[in-house]
């Protein structure tokens, strides 16, 4: 996802990653470590400490993707991910969503 961020940006899109957690609080230090260790070059967000777990409750399970038309703020497409063990994670569903997003942006 991060590797294709520049391609999406060049087409007029924006990828935003929201890191969620069901229990506890994700600290700014943890987020910074996540961004650094994964070489993310895109907007990455976490819940405010006072609302810990709310993003997970609203957005859903791991690898759920939303494509939002920012001119109307309407959700164009939602693809529900699945919980997975990180070592077994496949980027294929996310990459398919990026392909779909690029198709929409290039129309």
Spatial distance between the Cα atoms of 77 and 89, rounded to a whole number of angstroms: 22
> pTM to 2 decimals?
0.71
Q: What is the CATH number of the domain that holds 17?
A: 3.40.30.10
Q: How many domains does the chain have?
A: 1
For the segment 74-89, what is each residue's pLDDT rounded down to a tens digit?
999 888 766 555 545 6
Which of 39, 32, 28 lies closest to 2, judged by CA?
39
Domain that holds residue 93: 2-105
pLDDT, tens digit only, all 107 positions of the chain: 777 888 999 999 998 888 877 666 778 888 898 888 878 888 888 877 777 777 778 887 777 888 999 889 999 988 876 655 554 566 677 788 899 999 999 98
Q: Check: CB of residue 84 under 8 Å from CB of residue 62.
A: yes
Spatial distance between the Cα atoms of 21 and 57, rounded to a whole number of angstroms: 9
Burial class (CB in 10 A: 0-12, 13-18, 19+), 75: exposed
Residues in contact with 73: Cβ distance below 8 Å, sequence separation at least 6, in sequence order? none
């Amino acid at each position: 996802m991060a590797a294709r961020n520049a391609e999406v940006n060049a087409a007029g899109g924006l990828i935003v990653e929201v890191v969620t957690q069901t229990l506890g609080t994700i600290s700014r230090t943890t987020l910074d470590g996540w961004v650094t260790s994964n070489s993310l070059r895109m907007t990455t967000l976490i819940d405010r400490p006072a609302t810990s777990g709310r993003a997970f409750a609203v957005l859903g399970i791991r690898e759920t993707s939303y494509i939002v038309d920012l001119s109307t703020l309407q959700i164009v497409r939602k693809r529900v991910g699945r919980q997975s063990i990180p070592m077994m994670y496949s980027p294929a569903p996310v990459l398919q969503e990026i392909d779909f997003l690029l198709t929409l942006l290039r129309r």
